[in-house]
Amino acid sequence: MIDPLTHATVDAPMLADTLSRFFQPDTLARILIEGLGKAAIYFIIAIGLTLVFGLMGILNFAHGAFAMVGAYIGGVIMVVALSSASGAFTRIALFIVVVAVVFALLTAAGSALEIKLVRPIYDRTPMYQILLTFGVGLILEELARIIVSSRGIQPEPTWSAAQATIPGFLSGPSDVLNSLFGVNIRGFYLFAIVSGAILAVAVYLFLTRTLYGLYIRAGSEDPEMVEALGIDVRKAFTIVFGLGTGLAAVGGVFLMWDPTWGPSVMLNLDVLLYAFVVVVIGGLGSFKGTLVAAVIVGVADSFTTWLFNTGIVAFSGLPEVTIFLLLVIALIIRPQGLYGVEEVGGH
């Protein structure tokens, strides 16, 4: 009979072998660190989506397109400003500047978009907001394709010149990790973990220590009450939509250096689908849920990638299938997500 995982049929000795290979410290360290690195990236691309949904109830289908725009803008700045002689410190410093610039630019663009396009259709069913943002995503993708190809760069696959601006100590195996665990893990994952942690803390502080964070948390719980208390919800919507867009773009800047992604117009849909998975598993609108779900998805990704890379499973689509299966299973077992509120998102 036909079995999609024909090659995956596991016999007993092979299972034992797999287990023994899995429980070696270096393997575990690799899976965990790569997984957390991926989780950090997933968190960065998903957190903006969940904030926007939590407050506004809008599932932003242009999220991936904003990440793509961020990746390209970041790439342009990096490629133009850097020469091949630039040192690692310059590259990292410029990267931080780029993150700030892209965040500011796209936050402004996102706010403008919310005022001009999204605001007129709040009173319609959620479907139209999905459709509108999806259309905006399509337009951005095509514009990127036109601009990129008119500069003589291939829109797909990735723009390697931008990817190559990563300093050598991040693209190669990390010395720190090698001395700690004795395994060769790409330094980028450590960089992603650190950056992701900083960003998560920043978003957490924004949510818990600022006025607008308070509005977002309150608005996610009970938007009508927030409005009744005299808070200008429209302004809060604009700001949050802008921030969500800016965070998506920051995610894009990180993807620019990520060896498995890189700037390409395909980011539009790929980022969107992955961000959906993380957000839905964690619970739409939940910060904690997004964090936990990102870790689950990231570790599942790195574990299945390991299974495939070591040849234990010969099915090349394993990581992707696993990630989308996680989405389906999460929706079956716990439709509202790990930390979601039951009513949010129903119709």
Partner 1 sequence: MAISPTRRPDGDDDTDARGDGGTESASGQPATDSLEESQVATDTTERTTMTEEPGGDDAEGAHWTVQYARDHLAHVLVIGFFALYPGLVAVLTGIPALDIGFTTVDPGAFFDAFLPAMTFMIAMLFLGLFAMSFDFISGYTGYLSFGHAAFYGIGAYVVVMAANGDIPIVPEGTPFMLTLLLGATVAFLVALAIGAVSFRLTGVYFAMITLGFAQVIYELVRNWDYVATNPQEGPSMSGAAEIGIPYVDSLSFAIGRLAGDSFENVLGLGIDISATLTSYYAIGLVVLGCYFAMQRIIHSPFGRVMIAIRENEERARAVGYNVFWYKMAAFGMSAFFAAIAGAMFAGYRGSASPDSTFYFLVTADALIVTIVGGIGTLAGPLFGSFFFESLEDILSSQQGGLAPYLRETLPEAMLSADVAGITFLDVINTVVDGRAPLYLGIVFVLFVLFVPNGLLGSVRDRLGGTVAKRLPAHLERYRK
Residues forming the site for partner 1 (CB under 8 A): 1-2, 4, 6, 59, 117, 120-121, 124, 126-128, 130-132, 134-136, 138-139, 141-143, 146, 150, 269, 273, 276-277, 280, 284, 315-318, 320-321, 324-325, 327-328, 331-332, 335, 345-347
Cα Rg of the chain (Å, integer): 21
Judged by beta carbon, residue 8 or residue 82, the one nearer partner 1 is: 8
Question: 29 or 273, CB closer to partner 1?
Answer: 273
Euclidean distance between the first and final Cα of the chain, in Å? Answer: 42
Kindly state the tokens that stand for 220. 């996610």
Residue tagged 């979601």 (tokens): 340
Tell me the closest approach of the beta carbon of residue 250 to partner 1, in angstroms: 24
* Closer residue to partner 1 in complex, CB, 134/204: 134
Choose between 143 and 180: whose C-beta lies nearer to partner 1: 143
Q: How far is the CB of 53 from partner 1 (least distance, A)?
A: 8
Can you tell me the distance from the alpha carbon of 239 to that of 114, in angstroms, rounded to the nearest whole number? Answer: 9
Nearest approach, Cβ of residue 298 and partner 1 (Å):
18
Closest CA to 61 of 264, 280, 282, 272: 272
User: What's the min distance (Å) between Cβ of 318 and partner 1?
Assistant: 8
Nearest by Cα to 97 from 218, 250, 215:
250
Of the pair 200, 326, the CB lying nearest partner 1 is at 326
229-232 CB contacts, 8 Å cutoff, 24+ apart: none
Shortest Cβ 112–partner 1 spacing (Å): 15
Q: Which one, 228 or 332, has the nearer CB to partner 1?
A: 332
In the bound complex, what is the minimum distance in angstroms from residue 156's beta carbon to partner 1?
A: 12
Q: What angle do CA 332, 336, 342 make, to 5 degrees?
A: 130
State in angstroms the smallest separation of the CB of 82 from partner 1.
27
- Kindly tell me which of 150 and 179 has the beta carbon lying closer to partner 1: 150
| Token reading at 188 | 């980028």
Residue type, 208: T
| Number of neighbouring beta carbons within 10 Å of residue 107 | 21
| Amino acid at residue number 27 | T
* Burial class for 195, CB neighbours closer than 10 Å (0-12, 13-18, 19+): buried
